[in-house]
Structure 1
Amino acid sequence: MFESHHLRKPTGKSAFSGLGAGEPGNSVQESYVFPMVLGDMKGTTNSLTHTAAAMMPSSIFIWRFQVTLFLVWGFSCCKIGWDSVMRMNSDLRDLFLYEAFLYYNPLLLVTMMVWLWGVCLWVFSQSTISYVKIFDIDQNHLTHREIWKCSTWLTIIVPTSMTAYLYLYSHGEVSLAASQPVILYIAFALVLVFPFDIFYLSSRYFFLKTLWRIAFPLQPISFPDFFLADILTSMAKVFSDLERSACRMLHNQVATIAWFEADSICGSHSVAIPLVLVIPYIWRLMQCLRQYKDTKEKTTLFNALKYSTAVPVIFLSALKYHVLPDRWTYVYHPLWLISSFVNSLYSFYWDVTRDWDLSVFTRIFKFNKPSWWSDLLYGQNWVYYWVIGSNLILRCTWTYKLSAHLRHNYLTVFTITTLEMLRRFQWIFFRVENEWNKISKSSIQLPMTDMPNEDEKLVDLSDHTV
């Protein structure tokens, strides 16, 4: 049996928990005097408490102040960054922006995904679907508010570093500009592996351990394991950009265009790019094979086949940089189009029939406290028509993004990757609901008395046994 600690919030003991009657040395006289003193102090304490509460600003005012400060800071970063870009030589501007997006694109996308995950957990907490049962969690887990707090800090730190990078480079401080992304990546890596009980240690520990379980599926696969692995397949571009960013940092090619002119070490021809792109799909493929070994269900083999169809799409595209143009145009490009078509349709079919099971429309988005927007979604057929249609289009778009044709068109790639994140965002709701339907049909529901306060809880796998 394998037990682990998951996303548990740090707990503390009250400093005054040892005070009170019954302590050794408390005399009878003290038992009379102590309540009298407390009675005298109670009125003073209450008045001080009310006075302090009256002097403190309201939570609504603090929230509005934070939002205003957040917007002002974001606008200032955009203004400084734009002015810095306009100062550059027009011939070098596009090349420099491409490099800047290469370094900061992964962290921007991760920040966006953290925001969306917080939204998912908030919706789950408001709905009648018990994600507590689905993810096998206890009451000691993070709230969606804490997830949003982390994403807020990410939204401040990452654009600030990117603005400093643009500003310093445009003012001739090349060495300082080159240090900005390096410092940022090192800081994030250190925070992630920091061994002390700050910055949600158990959550970071669980995340790293889950990644280890995904990379090396040496144990039975749990729902959170392949759930996170599926999300990682939508972040293949993040893995690719991280690899190329690390390559440039190690070869001192930050804040310079020499790497682009030479294209010899970390350029678009690098064989590491398709290898890194295919890693999330190989992880998911191995999970499916592990599930077949444990369950002998043939469905898992068909699921493994789905992930294997992404392999030719990635490697056929990479051949553009290793074969003659005519051979690419008349041989490998048609093969790439066929493999892309097969992968897109197979993935779309699996989403609809297996991950979502929309053969019979289910009533998703039913909320404990209905509102106008929950009524707009709950039980409406247009929701399913929208999710099916958009999923088909974005599946095809995502496959095209994996091609080599768009590696230097950073705005197009960033837009398509963002759309893929949104596709995965809506996929999460239907996937979780389908899992809840399976649990409900098996009559393994949590008693209502055992349900934690969903409005204050976030997904955690505390005390999860595999």
Structure 2
Amino acid sequence: MLRVAGKVDSVVLGGVIAGVLLYAAVTMLLIFPFDIFYLSSRYFLLRTLWRIVFPLQAISFADFFVADILTSMAKVFSDLERSVCRMVHRQVATVAWLEADSVCGHHSVAIPAVLVLPYLFRFFQCLRQYKDTGEKTTLLNALKYSTAIPVIFVSALKYHTEHDRWMNFYRPLWLLSSVLNSLYSFYWDVTRDWDLSVFTRIFKFSKPHICSHLLHGRKWVYFWVIASNLVLRCTWTYKLSAHLRHNYLTVFAITALEMFRRFQWVFFRVENEWNKMNTKSNVQLSMSDLSNEEEKLLKSNDHNV
């Protein structure tokens, strides 16, 4: 028995050392100062992360684009926090998990605190955008990210309140906040981030011929994106809720689905931004052509006079 226990301890120690070395290697790779391993890209990412954490300047497309992606990594950050906590407290063996669950396990207050950080970053970015632009839609966007906060913290209350109170009050409150967050996020994805303004026309079945050119000939793609985004937005709430994350196979499956959902979001979000840039440039060119025509007309009038 002692020999087996010694082998288990050796394996556990090796796993801890490997984890520490992995985290250290990733950190060193990001801050490596020499012009190898895509130095400009690494430093651009670090600058962007710094601007996300401290939004003290005007928010660029890269700032909120990366910050949006970080919200999909909230569970990754909470798992990273738990791993570091286990390493610091040397709680790697299963017995240690059970003995000190309140320190690094499900009862830890650090888990909801880390989960909420990406949403707070995005929330303060929206406030900064409102300060710079005065657009009220940025406040509505900030409200969207704030709806994730009750989902995270009400879920964590399961480990800090009585069972009856959880079932009768906090659990219905968590369900309500989850539905609100999922539907609000879904609405914003479709109508704002992707700018699929034909969304309402599709389901009203009125004048389908005036639909956006985006849907022409490939309507099934957008039906699929809208429907799958609604389902996956609802499943993502599972990941934000600490009291549901005991089934690790389910968590793994939902993480993979969230990667797929975020890939879809990125594709159509970039497409929408590209369309806006092209539209803006076309308008500027049209205005420039118009001003040139007006200038020629004025010159001809002066010449005739």
TM range (shorter): 0.7 to 0.9
- Note the C-alpha offset of 1:174: 3.4
Letter in 1 for 2:26: F
Letter in structure 2 aligned against 1:355: D
Cα distance in 1, alignment partners of residues 222 and 12 from structure 2 = 51
Aligned CA-pair RMSD: 2.4
Partner of 1:261: 99
Q: 1:384 aligns with which of 215, 222, 239?
A: 222
| Distance across 2 between alignment mates of 1:294 and 1:325 | 46
Query: How far apart in 2 are the matches of 1:230 and 1:330?
Result: 34
Matched, 1:221 2:46: no
Say whether 1:326 aligns with 2:152.
no
Q: CA deviation at 1:337?
A: 0.4
Contact 1:169 1:177 in 2 (8 A): no
Unpaired runs of 5+ in structure 2?
Answer: 199-210, 286-305
Residues in 2 aligned to 1:338 and 1:319: alpha-carbon distance in whole angstroms? 15
Match of 1:27 in 2: none
Q: Does residue 311 in structure 1 map to residue 149 in structure 2?
A: yes
Letter matched to residue 301 of structure 1: L
1:225 CA drift (Å): 0.7
Structure 1: runs of 5+ lacking an equivalent: 1-88, 90-167, 365-376, 448-466
Q: TM-score, normalised by structure 2?
A: 0.82
Contact 1:439 1:445 in 2 (8 A): no
Q: Deviations over 1:171-198 (max 9, x none)?
A: 9533223322122111111212222222
Q: Secondary structure at the match of 1:443?
A: helix
2:17 is aligned to 179
* Alignment partners' CA distance in 2, 1:444 and 1:324: 61
Distance 1:205 1:169 in 2: 42
Q: CA deviation at 1:438?
A: 1.3
- Structure number, greater radius of gyration: 1
Name the counterpart of 1:414. Answer: 252
Residue 396 of structure 1 corresponds to 234
Q: Structure with the greater relative contact order (CA < 8 A, sep ≥ 6): 1 or 2?
A: 1
Going from structure 1 to structure 2, the CA distance change for 1:437 and 1:250 (only over 3 Å counts) comes to same
Task: Count residues in correspondence.
Answer: 269
1:335 is aligned, of 173, 187, 190, to 173
Letter in 2 for 1:411: L
2:104 aligns to what SS in structure 1?
Answer: coil
Asked if 1 retains the 8 angstrom alpha-carbon contact of 2:156 and 2:243, the reply is no
Distance 1:423 1:300 in 2: 23
Sequence identity percentage: 72
Give SS of 1:442's match: helix
For residue 196 of structure 2, what is the aligned residue in structure 1?
358
Counterpart among 78, 84, 108 of residue 270 in structure 1: 108
Partner Cα distance (1:344, 1:324) in 2: 27
Residue in structure 1 matched with residue 88 of structure 2 by the alignment: 250
CA distance in 2, matches of 1:383, 1:311: 32
* Residue 260 of structure 1: how far off its partner (Å): 2.9
Structure 1 counterpart of 2:207? none
Name the CA shift for 1:444/1:231 in 2 (closer, same or farther; >3 Å). Answer: farther
Shift of 1:256: 4.9
